[in-house]
Amino acid sequence: MEPQKKHCFYLLLTLMIVPIYASTALGLGGKRGGGVLVGGWQPIKNITEPHVKEIGEYAVKEYNKESKSQLTFVSVVKGETQVVAGINYRLIVATKDGALAKNYQAVVWEKVWEQFRNLTSFTPVKA
């Protein structure tokens, strides 16, 4: 196969597989009237899924780097995803700062096919 055709083939394959992977891996597909709603927030059905936990851990780690904090990730309490040019994750993460437990809302933008992640926001959740 010519290099240019091979490149186009892989690009098309990626564009087809990534949305399918995201939909199935996050439990977004199928059951409610047609699956993923582009642009709308959808609840994550399985917040204990390893990839969701990884996003939560990433959010706390990045926040710590940016703010010179020392929060410890505990768990993902709740989460939603939004299909954009990639996927936005809006998670409620439980953290500890020493003995003090606190929840934060973290928004992480991810493009799996580019191995890209960005912490968009990290704000305390009012009790």
pLDDT tens digits for 22-54?
554 455 444 444 455 567 999 999 999 999 999
Domain map of the chain by residue range? 37-124
pTM of the model: 0.70
- Could you give the 3-state DSSP secondary structure of residue 51? helix
Give the architecture-level CATH label for domain 37-124. Roll (3.10)
Handedness of CA 45, 97, 87, 53 (dihedral sign): negative
pLDDT tens digits for 88-115?
999 999 999 999 999 999 999 999 999 9
Distance CA 13, CA 15 (A): 5
**Element housing 78 (H / E):** strand 72-84
- Could you give the 3-state DSSP secondary structure of residue 95? strand
**CA-based max dimension of the chain:** 60
